Amino acid sequence: MLDKNGIAKRIAKEIKNGYYVNLGIGIPTLVANYIPAGIEVVLQSENGLLGMGPFPYEGEEDPDLINAGKQTVTYLKGSAVFDSAMSFGMIRAQKIDLTILGAMEVSEYGDIANWKIPGKMVKGMGGAMDLVASAKNIIVAMQQVNKAGESKLLPKCTLPITGLRCVKKIVTELGVYDIHHEGGFILRERAPGVTIEQIQNATAGTLIIPGEVPEMVID
């Protein structure tokens, strides 16, 4: 079974040289720490920054330079800033090669819910609805079961929807899944030490097992 960093590490393997990538808040942010040597990517932060660098050294924080999580960050060589309309313009126009998001639920059709729990959490969707409506390549990073032990890979989302039929791939602590275009989670890889039975028990939606499923290789 993977921890959060393991999930991030596995997703980092999906990143190709030259990609422009948008990372959501939570596990997706960790992916930046595991981009393989020799792979160059440009991180987009939807508050208006391309070429997001690491956190500043203490004493060098600039209140005018933050990421979409409101954290202080730095520029890299070749960074650019722009306004919020252009930022979502490049997202809508599909200039971003890969979007990595967290989720509360994903359906077997690739629907995603990650912005609201009625009566409980009312923080808002931020840029998530714009991202999922336009991104050509969305990977979801999430825990497969919630704190109550219930599966978050469902036949149909129960929480308010963020976007329909948009998720392509999901990486959880148990495995890697692709979404089948007619519905279903195609199991591509098992996390180290995880059995098919464990995965079946943690998947409420249709699980498709295409023959022998290899164990994930990370590191």
Partner 1 sequence: MINKVVKNADEAIHDIHDGAVLMLGGFGLCGIPENLIAALLRKGVKNLTCISNNAGVDDFGIGLLLKTRQVKKMISSYVGENDEFERQLLSGELDVELIPQGTLATRCMMAGYGIPFFPTPAGVGTEVALGKQIVHHKGKDYLIEEAFEADFALVKAWKGDTAGNLIYRSTARNFNPLMAMAGKITIAEVEILVEAGELDPDQIHTPGIYVHRIFQGEKYEKRIEQRTVRKRL
Q: How many residues bind partner 1 (CB under 8 A)?
A: 50
CA nearest 203: which of 137, 123, 143, 162?
143
Which range of residues in 4-12, 88-96, 182-190, 210-218 is near partner 1 by CB under 8 A? 88-96
Q: Annotated catalytic, 173?
A: no
CA nearest 152: which of 189, 192, 125, 112?
112
Binding mask 37-76 vs partner 1 (x if CB under 8 A, - otherwise)?
Answer: --------xxxxx----xxxxx-xxxxxxxxxxxxxx---
Q: Does 133 bind partner 1 (CB under 8 A)?
A: yes
CA nearest 146: which of 202, 99, 96?
202
Specify burial of residue 109 (Cβ count, 10 A radius: 0-12, 13-18, 19+).
buried
Q: Does 172 bind partner 1 (CB under 8 A)?
A: no
Q: Which of 14, 40, 46, 182 is catalytic?
A: 46
Q: Does 164 bind partner 1 (CB under 8 A)?
A: yes
Q: Which is nearer to partner 1, 110 or 175 (CB)?
A: 110
CA nearest 127: which of 159, 99, 165?
99
Q: Does 142 bind partner 1 (CB under 8 A)?
A: no
Q: Which is nearer to partner 1, 163 or 175 (CB)?
A: 163
Least distance between partner 1 and beta carbon 31 (Å): 16
Sequence-ordered list of residues with C-beta below 8 angstroms from that of 187, at least 6 positions apart, any chain? 175, 176, 177, 196, 199, 207, 208, 209, 210, 213
Cβ atoms of residues 208 and 187 within 8 Å: yes
Q: Does 130 bind partner 1 (CB under 8 A)?
A: yes
Tokens of 177: 């899944």
Strand pairing category for 105-107 and 153-154 = parallel
Q: Is 88 helix (H, G, I), strand (E, B) or coil?
A: helix
Cα distances (angstroms) measured from residue 18 to each of 21, 39, 40, 42, 96: 9, 7, 6, 7, 11
Q: Does 85 bind partner 1 (CB under 8 A)?
A: yes
Which range of residues in 35-43, 99-107, 155-163, 174-182 is near partner 1 by CB under 8 A? 155-163
Task: Fill in the amino acid letter for 105.
Answer: E
Least distance between partner 1 and beta carbon 200 (Å): 29
Which range of residues in 8-16, 97-105, 117-125, 206-214 is near partner 1 by CB under 8 A? 117-125
Catalytic residues: 46
Q: Which residues bind partner 1 (CB under 8 A)?
A: 45-49, 54-58, 60-73, 81-85, 87-88, 91-92, 111, 122-130, 133-134, 160-164
